[in-house]
């Protein structure tokens, strides 16, 4: 508790000397797999991510700014506003891909026996020309286990609700993924690799892909991430995926107990 309080004070004062946010594996930042830990209580994180998916006869460009907040101990909420451009046959379609509201709750931190266990939920609303036709709710279970500077993460998720052929960056009907990462502390660098399987349902083939990614701390509160994805099956999924992002962590003193008003 004392360590968390010290971290929050440093975030607000702007004199943060060390940060662990570069270790956070969030959804698509840079891999599909996420870790089991939310951001610190009272902290905010603003993310500017970009994704490119090539294949299936079209290029998908996705820009999805996101704001997350440590609303309670071991819990965070997030709001994402994705915009997309789909280029196919020499024409480009622009549109809003549906706002998303999410929650991640960590039931327990990692101990000698049990790994860290979390449950996440994300609601996608049918707003925009490139959004799903109906609301979609995605539930994801997350497990994280550490061995020194190396961590293993397992994710399993399912999505309820209608889709629509025109939906961009829609969550699959089911998903299973595993990722391993390694921290290089002196450089504040995280390297990660992933294998994932995604199911679209309706008799469509399962998409199996591999990905690599990295997260690098540029300043005490600014982190850059990059990832590269390649499909392993010939009949499902984009040929190639690229993700780039910047995240900024900050605090607001007036929202903290005893903070300035």
Decide which of 22 and 72 is more confident: 72
Q: Which residue has the tokens 């199996």?
A: 208
| Section 25-50 average pLDDT | 93
| Residue 8 clears pLDDT 80, i.e. is over it | no
Domain boundaries, the chain: 2-253
Tell me the pLDDT tens digit for each residue of 219-245.
989 999 999 999 998 777 788 999 999
Q: What is the pLDDT of residue 253?
A: 82
Provide the token pair at 135.
């609301």
The pLDDT of residue 88 is 85
From CA 85, how far away is CA 230, in angstroms rounded? 21
Greater pLDDT, 156 or 200: 156
Residue 159 to residue 173: CA distance in whole angstroms: 5
pLDDT > 70? residue 12: no
Q: Are 34 and 50 in contact (CB under 8 A)?
A: no
Query: What would the pLDDT profile of 78-106 be if each residue is shown by its tens digit?
Result: 999 999 999 887 788 999 999 999 999 99
Using an 8 Å Cβ cutoff, are 154 and 34 in contact?
Answer: no
Confidence of residue 37 (pLDDT cuts 50, 70, 90): very high
Asked whether the predicted pLDDT for residue 17 surpasses 90, the reply is no
Residue predicted with more confidence, 66 or 28:
66
Count the helices and strands in the chain (H runs, E runs): 1, 15
pLDDT confidence tier of residue 215, bands split at 50, 70 and 90 = very high
**Confidence (pLDDT) at 20:** 60
- Per-residue confidence (pLDDT) for residue 4, from 0 to 100: 43
Could you tell me what percent of the chain has a pLDDT over 90?
64
Residue 69 in this model has a pLDDT that exceeds 80:
yes
CB neighbour list of residue 200: distance below 8 Å, 6 or more residues apart: 172, 173, 207, 236
In this prediction, residues 145-162 reach a mean pLDDT of: 93
Q: For residue 16, is pLDDT > 60?
A: no
Average predicted confidence (pLDDT) for the chain: 86
Dist CA 234 CA 239 (whole Å): 9
Higher pLDDT, 205 or 37: 37
Range among 11-15, 139-143, 256-260 rated most confident: 139-143
154-172 average pLDDT score: 81
Reply yes or no on whether the pLDDT at 53 is more than 80: yes
Is residue 164 very low, low, confident or very high in pLDDT (cuts 50, 70, 90)? low
CATH class of the 2-253 domain in this structure: mainly beta
d(CA 83, CA 95): 6
pTM (two decimals): 0.86
End-to-end, the C-alpha distance of the chain in Å comes to 23
């Amino acid at each position: 508790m004392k360590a968390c309080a010290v971290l929050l004070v440093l975030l607000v004062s702007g004199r943060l000397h060390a940060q662990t946010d570069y270790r956070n594996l969030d959804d698509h930042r840079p891999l599909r797999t996420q870790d089991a830990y939310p951001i610190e209580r009272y902290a905010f994180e603003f993310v500017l991510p970009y994704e490119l998916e090539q294949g299936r006869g079209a290029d998908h460009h996705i820009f999805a700014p996101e704001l997350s907040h440590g609303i309670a101990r071991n819990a965070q909420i997030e709001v994402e506003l994705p915009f997309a451009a789909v280029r196919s046959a020499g024409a480009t379609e622009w549109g809003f891909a549906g706002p998303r509201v999410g929650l991640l709750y960590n039931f327990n931190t990692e101990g000698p026996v049990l790994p860290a266990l979390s449950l996440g939920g994300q609601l996608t609303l049918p707003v925009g020309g490139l959004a799903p036709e109906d609301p979609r709710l995605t539930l994801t279970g997350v497990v994280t286990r550490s061995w020194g500077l190396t961590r293993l993460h397992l994710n399993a998720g399912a999505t309820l609700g209608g889709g629509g052929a025109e939906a961009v960056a829609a969550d699959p009907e089911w998903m299973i993924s595993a990722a391993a990462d390694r921290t290089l502390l002196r450089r504040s660098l995280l390297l990660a690799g992933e294998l994932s399987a995604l199911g679209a349902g309706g008799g469509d083939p399962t998409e199996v892909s591999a990905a690599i990614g990295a997260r690098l701390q540029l300043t005490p509160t600014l982190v850059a991430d990059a990832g590269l994805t390649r499909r392993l099956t010939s009949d499902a999924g984009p040929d190639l995926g690229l993700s780039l992002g910047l995240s900024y962590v900050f605090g607001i003193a007036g929202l903290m107990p005893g903070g300035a008003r």
